[in-house]
Amino acid sequence: MSSKTLYDKLWESHIVRQEADGTCLIYIDRHLVHEVTSPQAFEGLKLAGRQLWRKSSIVSTADHNTPTNEWDKGIQDPISRTQVETLDANIREFGALAYYPFKNINQGIVHVIGPEHGATLPGMTVVCGDSHTSTHGAFAALAHGIGTSEVEHVMATQTLVAKKSKAMLVRVDGELGFGVTAKDVALAIIGKIGTAGGTGYAIEFGGSAIRGLSMEGRMTLCNMAIEGGARAGMVAFDEKTAEYLQGREFAPKGEQWDKAVAYWNTLKSDEGAQFDAVVELDASEIAPQVTWGTSPEQVLPVTAVVPNPADQADPVKQASYTRALQYMGLEADTPITDIPVDKVFIGSCTNSRIEDLRAAAKVVKGRKKADNVKLVLIVPGSGLVKRQAEEEGLDKIFIDAGFEWREPGCSMCLAMNADRLEPGERCASTSNRNFEGRQGQGGRTHLVSPEMAAAAAIAGHFVDIRSFA
């Protein structure tokens, strides 16, 4: 029997049928639905007079458009409100396994709530009309984002038409240094392979440094797989996966649990399995990372200086560096630690889990926000995370430091609600995209870990967390 990769196993176990040209019909176990990419899909179903194939595969929430404060006032923006109400009406009409609407105590970012309710399980295919669905691959699941036509296709048929990707192994061995997090590993990988480096691949993250990460850390890493161009990222099943899932609402119980774990234990790449590409990193060489440009691949260690476009040989790259520096309002050769910040955002499906908030709070405890920092937003990923943080007193630490403690949602990750940057404002953000205008038109985003964001809020500029004790 030939050796198989984790991706081979996940793919093959979901093939309903295969055409001669390799196009497959793939069965979908879990469908996460949110308000932005679903209305047109529901409308399509209705117009064609179709039903949901299996409503118990759907877990839904409103997250992108929901406000993060003054919930009692509802959603002020009428267009956002219509979108959220449309989801509400659709789920009420069509049904779902679980629905966490606006203001529900378990509402949150779709990629945070799936795992925390045990709705994401090893061996599943998980899809959502959202590119960061790759997050769920942390559970040895095949998870990726889809467009709205495919959302409708999954709703109506429980399948997707797809072709198998190539397999890439990103192996990170060794031990991460003090202050270096899963976010830094993700950014370092993207810095190395580029934002298109993973295009056409499904990435498996392996190696001792990955095994050493918590489930939260693995989710952060898989979340960013898409920023490296790969639709799916994944990590093999191990005791940590089991430990995280045990006892969660939709996870199997009793005898079923034992049966499930026995199967899940096979969800790893076999010894000697062949990958189409292998990328290796030494964990001990990864420093805390900060992006300086308008693409996640424009990233450097915090100890570096802003690059000089003149040093780039490739003219297309040179032009994009020049354009990025201009947009970001940065001079070449400026030390990254000299860059001041106007706002700080700790949140998003990349870094809004309890572990992220604990790490940020540890840096902040007993300190105050710098005067030049206008706003620090702490936005927990879900109602569950929020309550847990409050039980641990983390909210107090943030509020005492002059930060704002908000309700869960996507918030300033993409600024579809009222939380946004004004033109020219510079932000240390724990989110995943530093594209032009992502956090508000003209806004300037630097991607960092929660610890680095918290430290920047205190110092008023970027600092090397390793010397910020």
Partner 1 sequence: MKAFTQLHGLVCAMDRANVDTDAIIPKQFLKSIKRSGFGPNLFDEWRYLDHGEPGMDNSQRPLNPDFELNLPRYAGAQILLARDNFGCGSSREHAPWAIEDFGFRALIAPSFADIFFNNCFKNGLLPIVQPAEVVDQLFRETQEAEGYRLHIDLAAQTITTPSGQVFSFDITEHRKACLLNGWDEIGLTLRHADEIRAFEDKRKQEQPWLFA
Phi, psi of 280 (to 5 degrees): -120, 140
Cα 238 to Cα 48, 384, 448: the distances in Å are 44, 24, 28
Task: List the Cα angle 133/159/216 in 5-degree steps.
Answer: 20
Give the x-and-dash track for 380-419 against partner 1 (CB under 8 A).
Answer: ----------------------------------xxx---
| Rounded least distance, CB 415 to ligand SF4, Å | 9
| Rounded least distance, CB 117 to partner 1, Å | 12
Question: Pick from ligand SF4, partner 1, none: which does 413 bind, CB < 5 to 8 A by kind?
Answer: ligand SF4
Choose which of 130, 150, 216, 451 interacts with ligand SF4 (CB under 6 A).
130
Choose which of 3, 12, 16, 338 interacts with partner 1 (CB under 8 A).
16
| Rounded least distance, CB 49 to partner 1, Å | 12
Nearer to ligand SF4 (CB atom), residue 8 or residue 35: 35
The closest alpha carbon to 118, from 20, 264, 8, 9, belongs to 264
Of residues 82-101, those binding partner 1 (CB under 8 A): 82-83, 86
Task: Identify residue 153 by its one-letter amino acid code.
Answer: H
SS3 sequence of 113-143: HHHHCCCCCCCCEEEECCHHHHHHHHHCCEE
**In the structure encoding, which two tokens stand for residue 255, read together?**
């005898």
Nearer to ligand SF4 (CB atom), residue 154 or residue 176: 154
**Cα dihedral 100, 106, 110, 114 sign:** negative
How big is the site for ligand SF4, counted in residues (CB under 6 A)? 13
| Rounded least distance, CB 328 to partner 1, Å | 15
| Rounded least distance, CB 421 to partner 1, Å | 13
Question: Pick from ligand SF4, partner 1, none: which does 129 bind, CB < 5 to 8 A by kind?
Answer: partner 1
d(CA 298, CA 161): 34
In eight-state DSSP terms, residue 188 is: H
Give the x-and-dash track for 280-299 against partner 1 (CB under 8 A).
Answer: ---------------x----
d(CA 141, CA 28): 11
Q: Which stretch binds ligand SF4 (CB under 6 A): 323-331, 359-367, 396-404, 407-415?
A: 407-415
Write down the residue that tokens 């079923």 correspond to.
Answer: 256
Pairing status of strand 343-346 against strand 24-27: unpaired
- Asked if 252 touches partner 1 (CB under 8 A), the answer is yes
- Asked if 438 touches partner 1 (CB under 8 A), the answer is yes
Of residues 339-358, those binding ligand SF4 (CB under 6 A): 348-349
